[in-house]
Structure 1
C-alpha cells in the first residue's frame, strides 16, 4: 500500500469527514450547498437537459432564497403536472362551438332524397381566395381561422337572409377584438314611430348596408343598429379606444349618449364612406342626376374597358365608390320643413342646400384627396410581386403582381387588385389619423350635500337639566 492510499479515510472516518464537509459548506441561513446543488441538478435534468451548463447560473440564482424559489416553481414549472380535467373541458367547449359551423353529412348508404335540404344562402365572398391576395399586403388570419370565418359567414348568411355578405374587417380592442361582417338585406327595416330625426332608411345613405360583429369566429354574430345623424355628430367629436365590450358606456367629453356598440356602428359608417374605392373607367355619372352613378355599358364586349394590374398601379386610376357624409351627418339633404324656402322650386332649393353643405363630387379620383395636414396624399399605392407583365397573355390577366392601396387618413383601410379581381378590407383600431389629439374628459360627478341629521338632546350633560315639578294632586 502506498503512502497516499494510507492517508485516505475509510469506513466511519469517511462518513464523518463527509458530514464535517457538509457543515463547513453550510450557509448562514442554515441551507447546505449539497442540497442546493441537488435542487439545481433536478431542475436542469427535468427542464434543460440539453442546455444545462448555460442555464446553471440562472437556475441557481432563482433557487437561492424562498421568494425566488416560489417564483422559480412557476417559472420553471417544477411540478410538471397538467390539469387534464381543465384541458378536456376547454377542448369539449371548442368542439361544441365549432360543430355548429359544420353540420354532419348524411350517412353512407342512406337515401339521398330523405336528407334534409340545406337552406339557401346568399352570395358569400370566397374568403380563401381573398386571403391569398391579402397576404401580399401583410394581412393574414391563418389557415384554421380563415376556414372558421368562411363557415361562420356562410352560417350568418343563411340565418340573416342577406343577399350578399363579406368580411368587412377587424377592429382591435384593448380587451377583445371585433370581426365585422357587411351584408345587404332586402327591405327598409322595421317601421318605428320613435325613430331618430333624419334617420336614413335601411338600404340608403349611411345605412345602405347592415353590419354584424363578433369577438371571435366561433361566437354568435350581433347585428348593429342603424346609424342616426345625432350619433354620427357625437362620434365626430369623440376619440376613444375600443375595448371589445358592446355594452360598455362611453365616458368622454363632449358627452357621448350611447354605448360602445353605437360608437362602433358610427365609426364603421365613417370608414366605409371615406375609404370605399373602385377602379376608374367602369362607371359614369347619370344624365338626370350628377349625384348618381351607373355602370358603363358597351355595345361590344370586345371594346369594353377592362382594368389591368398595370393600369391600376397608378393612383389616378382609382376613384371613390360611395357618397360622402355631409355636415348634416347624412348622405343627402333633409326635405325642407315649414316656409324656410318659401315658394321656390325644388331645383332651386337643392342648389341652395348644396351651397350650404356641398357634397364631394362623385367618382372623385384619389389623387385629389389630401391628408389631415394638407401636405401629403391621403393614399399610398404599391405594386407587390412581379413588376413585369407576362407576354403572350391577355392584357387583363398577363400580370401576376398585386396592387395595394392604403389610406393614411384611416390607417388600416386598404384595397387590393390582382388580375381582374379587387377587394377591400379594414384592419385597424377604428380611429382616424387626426392632428387633433386633445379630447378632455369630464370632471367627476359632484355629489349633493347630505341631508342634515335631526338634533337631539345631549345624553350626558354636564349639568342636569331642571326638572319640572309635578302639580300636587287635588284632595
Structure 2
C-alpha cells in the first residue's frame, strides 16, 4: 500500500476549530450578518483605534458597529445624524431668545421698561423659592420669555403668571391677562353664540318636520328649567382672560368664556387633564363642552377660592363706599397708603389675609341671576296661562355668598382640617423672612407676603381636595309613566247588597228631584195668577 493511500485521522483540535468557525459563520436570516464577521469588525476597530479600558468599552463598540450597519446614509460624504431630544428642545426655545425688528435699539428698550405689562416672574420665583415652592430656574426663565412673547404679539395691558396645571400627556402653562379697552378680540364669543343659535335652529326645524310628517307618540309636557346666561366679558367669573400653552415657545391659545353650566357640572365630576384642549370630557353627569371649557371652569373655581392678598392692600373706592350696606361690591382699588404687615403677624392668624376675587354662587355666577325674570313679550304671552293655572309659582330666593375682601378666618374647615396653612420661610432670621400661605382645599395653591409685595400661584393637577373617596352621583329616579289616582286604579266588584243600596239611593234622589221640579212649577203658576 502506498503512502498516498494511507488515511491519516484528523486532529480532534482542528476538527473542533473548524466546527466552531462554521457555527460562527452562520448568518441570521433577518439581518444577513454572521457573528464571525461582527467580531472581526469589532476586533479590527479595537486594533485600529486602540482605546483605553477596552474591556469596559467593548459593549459600546459592538453597539456602534451594529448601529452603523443599519444606519441610512443619504450622502457618502456626510452622515445623516439623528436629531437628539436636546436639539429639538433647543429649536423650540430658539424663538424665545430671538429679538424682533427694532427691539435692539436703546429707545425701544427704554419704552419697554417703562410701559411693559410684563411681570417680573424671576423676582416672584425668588420669593416663592424661599418658601419651598416653584419650578426650576431654567423653566421659570423660559416661561418668563414666553410671557414676553405673548405681550409682544397681543394688545395686553395687564399680565400675570397664573400657574401651571399638570396633565397626563402634556401640561398647561396659564397666563391671566386683560386686553386693552376696545382691542379685546371677541371672535370666539361670537362664534360660540352663532353655534348655539345654529343648534337651536336645527332642533326647531327637526321638531317642525316631525310634526308635519309623523305625528308620533304624544309629546311630553315637561319644560326644562331656564338656562342661566353667562356673565359678560370683564365681569364676574369672566373678569379676566386666560391664555394657555403646553410648553414655552409653543403658541398661546385663548380659553373661551366660562358658562354657569360649566362650573356647576365641574363641581360634580373629577377628571384629570389630558393636555389636549379638544379632548372630550366623558363623565356623569355629562359635561357640556370639551377640555378647554373644563380647564376654564377649574381656573375660575381655583381663582375664586385661593386668590388672596394682605389685609389693607386693597380697599373699596369712594363711590362704592357710599353704596348701601346690602349692595354687592364687585370692584376695588389699590390702597396707596398701605405700609405692609410684618411676616410674623401674617402667620399668627388668617385674619390678616383676605379674598380679592368674587365668590361663585351655586348657580355658577358671581352675580345671582333670577331665572323667573322674563321679557315683556314672554310675560304678556304667559299672562293668560297663569290665570288659568291659578297661583303663580314662588319666587326663588337669591343666592348670597361672602363679599369681597372677606378675611380667611371665616373660611369653613374641611373635616376638622384648617383650610389654610401658614409658615415662615425661616425662623433663624425672622426679620428677613417671608410669610407663605398654602391652601388645603385646593392643593397646589400658594401665596407669599413680604412687606408691600405679595403674589399667588398654582402648581397642581387642578383638582379639589376631597376627604372622602369620590363616587359619581346617582342618576335621578325614574319618572312615573302615568299619575296614580282613582280614575285608573282597579277596584273590587261591589256585592249584591251594595248594588241594591246604591239603586235605592239613586231612586230616592230621582224622586226628590222630581218633587222639587213639581213644587217649582206650582210656585210659578201661582205667581202668574
Q: Assess same fold via TM > 0.5.
A: yes
**Does structure 1 residue 379 correspond to structure 2 residue 411?**
no
- Following the alignment from structure 1 to structure 2, what is the Cα–Cα distance between the partners of residues 359 and 88? 54
8 Å CA contact 2:315, 2:335 repeated in 1: no
Indicate how the Cα distance of structure 1 residues 79 and 120 shifts in structure 2: closer, same or farther if over 3 A, else same.
farther
TM-superposed CA distance for 1:239, in Å, is: 1.1
For the residues of structure 1 that align with 2:285 and 2:368, how far apart are their CA atoms? 25
Structure 2 regions of 5+ residues with no counterpart? 1-10, 27-35, 73-78, 197-226, 380-394, 476-529
- Secondary structure of the structure 1 residue equivalent to 2:472: coil
CA distance in 1, matches of 2:346, 2:70: 57
Could you say which residue in structure 1 is the equivalent of 2:95? 99
The Cα shift of 1:416 comes to 1.5
Give the direction of change, closer, same or farther, for the CA distance of 1:314–1:118 in structure 2 (3 Å limit): closer
Q: Distance in 2 between matches of 1:421 and 1:223?
A: 29
Could you tell me whether the CA contact under 8 Å between 1:411 and 1:433 is conserved in 2? Answer: yes
Secondary structure of 2:94 counterpart: helix
In structure 2, what is the equivalent of residue 176 of structure 1?
170
Q: Distance in 1 between matches of 2:411 and 2:18?
A: 81
* Residue of structure 1 aligned with 2:252, choices 221, 224, 242: 221
Q: Could you tell me which of 433, 441, 447 is aligned with 1:415?
A: 447
CA 365–79 in structure 1, closer or farther in 2 if over 3 Å, else same: farther
Query: Which structure 1 residue ranges, 4+ long, deviate > 6 Å from structure 2?
Result: 20-26, 28-31, 34-42, 48-53, 76-83, 105-108, 111-115, 117-121
Matches within 5 A, 1:58-137: 85-87=81-83, 91=87, 94-95=90-91, 98-99=94-95, 101-103=97-99, 122-137=116-131
- 1:262 maps to 2:293: yes
Distance (whole Å) between structure 2 residues aligned to residue 81 and residue 172 of structure 1? 38
Q: Hey, what's the Cα distance between the residues in 1 that align with 2:108 and 2:158?
A: 29
**In terms of Rg, which structure is larger?**
2
Q: Distance in 1 between matches of 2:425 and 2:153?
A: 38
Native 8 Å contact 1:206 1:331 kept in 2: yes
Residue 256 of structure 1, CA deviation: 1.3
Aligned to 1:159: 153
Among 387, 404, 428, the alignment partner of 2:436 is: 404
CA deviation vs aligned residue, 1:338-383 (integer Å, no higher than 9, x gap): 48xxxxxxxxxxxx97x642212433322332344x3111111111
Decide whether aligned partners of structure 1 residues 118 and 388 sit closer, same or farther in structure 2, where only a CA change above 3 A counts: closer
Equivalent residue of 1:85, what SS? Answer: coil
Instruction: Note if 1:327 corresponds to 2:362.
Output: yes
Q: How does 1:440-455 map to 2 (within 5 A)?
A: none
Aligned pair count reads: 382
Q: 2: distance between equivalents of 1:88 and 1:121? A: 40
Measured against aligned partners, the alpha-carbon deviations of 1:405-445 in whole angstroms (never above 9, x if no partner) come to 11111110111223432111100001111235123899xxx
Report the Cα distance in structure 2 between the residues aligned to 1:146 and 1:368, rounded to whole angstroms.
Answer: 34
Distance 1:363 1:19, change over 3 A: farther
Moved more, 410-419 or 305-314: 305-314
Q: Distance in 1 between matches of 2:108 and 2:259?
A: 48
1:434-459 Cα deviation digits (max 9, x unpaired): 235123899xxxxxxxxxxxxxxxxx
Aligned CA-pair RMSD:
4.7
- Matched with 1:308 is 342
Q: Which has the higher contact order (CA 8 A, sep 6+)?
A: 2
Is residue 337 from structure 1 mapped to residue 373 from structure 2 by the alignment? yes
**Cα pair distance change 1:22/1:368, threshold 3 Å:** farther
Shift of 1:105: 7.4
Q: How far did 1:269 drift?
A: 0.3
Residues 213, 289 of structure 1: CA spacing in aligned structure 2 closer, same or farther, 3 A cutoff? farther
CA distance 1:50–1:157, change in 2 (3 Å): same
- Judged with a 3 Å threshold, the aligned counterparts in structure 2 of structure 1 residues 440 and 314 are, in CA distance, closer, same or farther, namely same
User: Does the 8 Å CA contact 1:163/1:183 hold for their aligned counterparts?
Assistant: yes
C-alpha distance 376-79 of structure 1, shift in aligned 2 (>3 A):
farther
Match 1:288 to one of 314, 323, 326: 323
Equivalent of 1:431, from 447, 463, 466? 463
- Compared with structure 1, are the counterparts of its residues 112 and 332 closer, same or farther at alpha carbon in structure 2 (3 Å cutoff)? closer
Aligned mate of 2:302, from 268, 271, 280: 271
Q: Distance in 1 between matches of 2:103 and 2:285?
A: 61
Secondary structure (helix, strand or coil) at the match of 1:240 reads coil
Deviation digits for residues 197-250 of structure 1 (CA, Å, limit 9, x no counterpart): 421111110011100010000101000011011111221112111010001111
Secondary structure of 1:211's counterpart equals strand
TM-score scaled by structure 1?
A: 0.65
Higher helix share: 2
